[in-house]
Amino acid sequence: MAEELMNLEWSLLVPSVQELVSQRLEKVPRRYIKEDVEDPITNRSDPFLRIPLVDRTKLVNPDTRDTELHKLQYASKDWGVFQLINHGASDEVLRNMKKQNQDFFNHPLQEKKQYAQKPASIEGYGQAFVISEDQQLEWCDMIFLKALPIHNRMLHFWPQHPQEFRVTLERYAEEIMSNGIHRAPDHIAVVNKWKEKLSVVTFCYPGENAEIGPASKLIKSEGRALYKTLTSAEYFHRFYNQKLGGDRSIDTLKNRMP
């Protein structure tokens, strides 16, 4: 089953954005052109619109757990995102993780291509969620690596330069179910054409045989589950086969109501 699950993670190979820039093309390739879509912009000057803070130490303290769980419930239901504080990961590890990633992407293209994705795989340097030859592509490059469990690591994709990359990633990895109630937001970044953006995103996977579905306590009184229950392998098959810019994988899991 482990081998089968790994095979569910795949993406078609496409040129990196840096590679396209180095070619000095006369015009932008069609696949990278997007229509002007006016996304709603939040008024960031509003003092009442602040991302909720959740304190991990209060979640594990019996005297403060209930109050902090209510804050976590509110953040998950009404915001779909929160900032975790007192999480135990040291500032040094977080700074080093960001620095090593930035240093890797600053390396020459030919060096990064040593860790390029292989056909029918998502691990390595490249892009994700590319499932057809004509879909629109994102203006970004990424490196996708598995850190834990250790037996899933594919070290030939782990950069050896910068020299501290592997050690830093290992330290970072070591430190670091609702029924339509908790929101599942898209990973959206606010960017501009003058400044690049670096994200270090960490995904936590359940075991491949684990079931993912609505928590029984959160199913509403009529007893109807809004979402299907799938194994982890079934869910990630849908997740990694979604098209960039298409329907979200979670929306395809909704049960049809009469």
Which one-letter amino acid corresponds to residue 78?
D
Inform me whether the pLDDT recorded for 41 exceeds 60: no
Which tops the pLDDT comparison, 95 or 3? 95
Q: How far apart are CA 35 and CA 238, in angstroms?
A: 26
Which one-letter amino acid corresponds to residue 152?
N
Query: Residue 82 phi/psi, 5° resolution?
Result: -155, 165
Inform me whether the pLDDT recorded for 5 exceeds 50: no
Average pLDDT over residues 3-24: 70
Q: Where is average pLDDT lowest: 36-50, 67-81, 130-144, 241-255?
A: 36-50
Question: Is 0.75 topped by the overall pTM?
Answer: no
Left (φ > 0), alpha (ψ -120 to 50) or beta: where does 117 sit? beta
Quick one: which H or E segment has residue 239?
A: helix 232-240
Per-residue pLDDT band for 61 (boundaries 50, 70, 90) equals very high
Q: How far apart are CA 17 and CA 196, in angstroms?
A: 12
Which tops the pLDDT comparison, 129 or 125? 125
Q: How far apart are CA 199 and CA 172, in angstroms?
A: 14
Q: How far apart are CA 171 and CA 111, in angstroms?
A: 24
Q: How far apart are CA 106 and CA 127, in angstroms?
A: 17
